[in-house]
C-alpha cells in the first residue's frame, strides 16, 4: 500500500470517548471516510467495522473471532501503549498491521506516580480529610500528629520495570534523594550489576513501584508470598497495569500491616466492579485509588492523538511504524 493509491479508505474509531473532547484528533492525510463512535460494546464491533480498512481502538477488544469477521481490515491503530486487547497472533496470520503509541506519557505517568508516593509518605489524604471533619479546630495546638509522615530522602525506591517510564520515575526519585534500584525479573538471575535481585527489592525497598507490561510472566507478580517478604513494610504503587498485583492479597497485606500503604491507578477489571476487594479499604488512610488517569495529562493525550494519526498516515504511505507483534 503506497501513497500513490488514492482510493478512499474507511476508518472506524470505536471509542472516541476515551480521549477528552478538548483533545483534537486531526483527520488523516489521505482520502478517507471516518465513523467515530463514542463507545462500542464488543458485540457491536463487527457491525460497525465490517467495511473498515483501519480500526482505531483504545480499550475495545479485538479478539480472533472478531478479526475473522472483518475481512476488509488491514490495520489496527491502538490509541494506547498496551496491546493486550488485541489478538496479535490472529493479526499476524492475516497480515494485519497493529501499531501502538510509544513514549507519549514520559512526563505524566512518572509525575502521577511520584504524586501517589508523596501523598502516601506525607499522609496528605488523611490529614486533609481530618481537617474537613473538624479535627484541626478541636486540636489544642497549631498542629497534630494523627498520621505518620516520612521523608523520601535516603529511602530505597525499588522499580520493577526498566523501560522509559521506570527510568523517568528513577530520575524523579533521585531528585528527592532516594536510593534507586531496578529489579531483575522475577525468577531470573544474571541480568548484571545494574539490577537488584527481585527478592532483595521486596525485602529492602521502602517504596516499590511497578512499571512493567502485563504478560503471562508478570500476572500477579506481587502476591501473598511476595508481601510476606516485604520486611520494611514498603509503600506499593501500581500505575502500570491491573493484574500485576493479586488484589485480594494486597488488601490482606494492607490490613495485616505487612505494607505501609498502597496507591493504585489501575485495577484488573475497569471500571472497578461491585464486590472488588479494593472497595473494602477505600476508607483506609494509607490507601489511594485513582481511576486510571496517570496517563491523562492534556499534553500527553494530545501527543497520543497526534502519534496515532501519524501511525495511520505512515501505514497508508507504505512505511508502517510502531508495529507490534511482527
Q: Compute the average pLDDT of residues 15-30.
A: 97
CA distance 142 to 136: 8
pLDDT digits (tens, 9 = 90+) for 116-144: 999 999 999 999 999 999 999 999 899 99
Sheet with 75-78, edge to edge strand ranges: 32-36, 9-13, 54-57, 75-78, 97-99
The set of catalytic residues is: 241, 270, 292
Q: Compute the average pLDDT of residues 170-195.
A: 93
pLDDT of 272: 98
The full set of domains in the chain, from first to last, is 9-104+298-316 (3.40.50.720), 108-289 (3.40.50.720)
φ/ψ (deg, to 5) at 36:
-115, 115
Could you tell me where the beta strands, DSSP code E, fall in the chain?
9-13, 32-36, 54-57, 75-78, 97-99, 156-160, 179-183, 195-196, 207-210, 235-238, 261-264, 287-289
pLDDT of 292: 96
List the Cα angle 234/254/177 in 5-degree steps: 20
The pTM of this model reads: 0.87
pLDDT digits (tens, 9 = 90+) for 23-82: 999 999 999 999 999 999 999 999 999 999 999 999 999 999 999 999 999 999 999 988
pLDDT of 6: 59
Q: Identify the band that residue 190 occupies on the pLDDT scale cut at 50, 70 and 90.
A: confident
Cα 74 to chain center, whole Å?
A: 27
pLDDT of 33: 98
Evaluate whether 72 touches 50 at the Cβ level (below 8 Å): yes
pLDDT of 192: 87
pLDDT of 3: 39
Evaluate whether 233 touches 202 at the Cβ level (below 8 Å): no
Evaluate whether 109 touches 304 at the Cβ level (below 8 Å): no
Please state, in angstroms and as integers, the Cα–Cα distance from residue 77 to each residue in 9, 157, 197, following that order.
Answer: 14, 35, 37
Evaluate whether 322 touches 103 at the Cβ level (below 8 Å): no
φ/ψ (deg, to 5) at 199:
-65, -35
Amino acid at each position: 500500500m503506497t501513497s500513490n493509491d488514492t482510493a478512499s479508505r474507511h476508518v472506524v474509531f470505536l471509542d472516541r470517548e476515551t480521549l477528552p473532547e478538548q483533545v483534537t484528533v486531526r483527520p488523516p492525510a489521505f482520502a478517507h471516510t471516518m465513523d467515530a463512535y463514542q463507545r462500542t460494546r464488543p458485540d457491536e464491533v463487527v457491525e460497525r467495522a465490517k467495511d473498515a480498512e483501519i480500526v482505531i481502538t483504545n480499550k475495545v477488544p479485538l479478539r480472533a473471532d472478531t478479526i475473522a469477521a472483518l475481512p476488509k481490515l488491514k490495520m489496527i491503530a491502538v490509541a494506547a501503549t498496551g496491546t493486550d486487547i488485541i489478538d496479535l497472533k490472529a493479526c499476524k496470520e492475516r497480515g494485519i498491521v497493529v501499531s501502538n503509541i510509544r513514549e507519549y506519557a514520559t512526563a505524566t505517568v512518572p509525575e502521577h506516580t511520584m504524586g501517589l508516593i508523596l501523598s502516601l509518605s506525607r499522609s496528605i489524604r488523611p490529614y486533609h480529610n481530618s481537617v474537613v471533619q473538624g479535627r484541626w479546630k478541636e486540636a489544642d495546638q497549631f498542629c497534630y500528629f494523627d498520621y505518620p509522615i516520612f521523608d523520601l530522602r535516603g529511602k530505597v525506591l525499588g522499580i520493577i520495570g526498566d523501560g522509559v517510564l521506570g527510568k523517568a520515575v528513577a530520575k524523579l526519585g533521585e531528585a528527592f534523594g532516594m536510593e534507586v534500584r531496578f529489579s531483575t525479573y522475577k525468577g531470573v538471575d544474571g541480568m548484571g550489576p545494574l539490577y537488584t535481585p527481585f527478592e532483595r527489592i521486596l525485602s529492602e525497598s521502602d517504596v516499590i513501584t511497578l512499571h512493567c507490561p502485563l504478560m503471562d510472566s508478570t500476572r500477579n507478580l506481587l502476591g501473598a508470598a511476595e508481601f510476606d517478604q516485604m520486611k520494611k513494610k514498603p509503600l506499593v504503587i501500581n500505575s502500570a497495569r491491573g493484574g500485576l498485583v493479586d488484589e485480594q492479597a494486597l488488601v490482606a497485606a494492607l490490613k495485616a500491616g505487612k505494607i505501609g500503604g498502597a496507591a493504585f491507578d489501575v485495577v484488573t477489571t475497569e471500571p472497578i466492579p461491585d464486590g472488588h476487594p479494593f472497595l473494602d479499604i477505600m476508607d483506609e488512610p494509607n490507601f489511594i485509588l485513582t481511576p486510571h488517569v496517570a496517563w491523562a495529562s492534556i499534553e500527553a493525550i494530545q501527543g497520543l492523538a497526534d502519534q496515532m494519526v501519524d501511525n495511520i498516515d505512515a501505514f497508508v504511505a507504505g512505511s508502517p511504524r510502531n508495529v507490534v507483534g511482527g
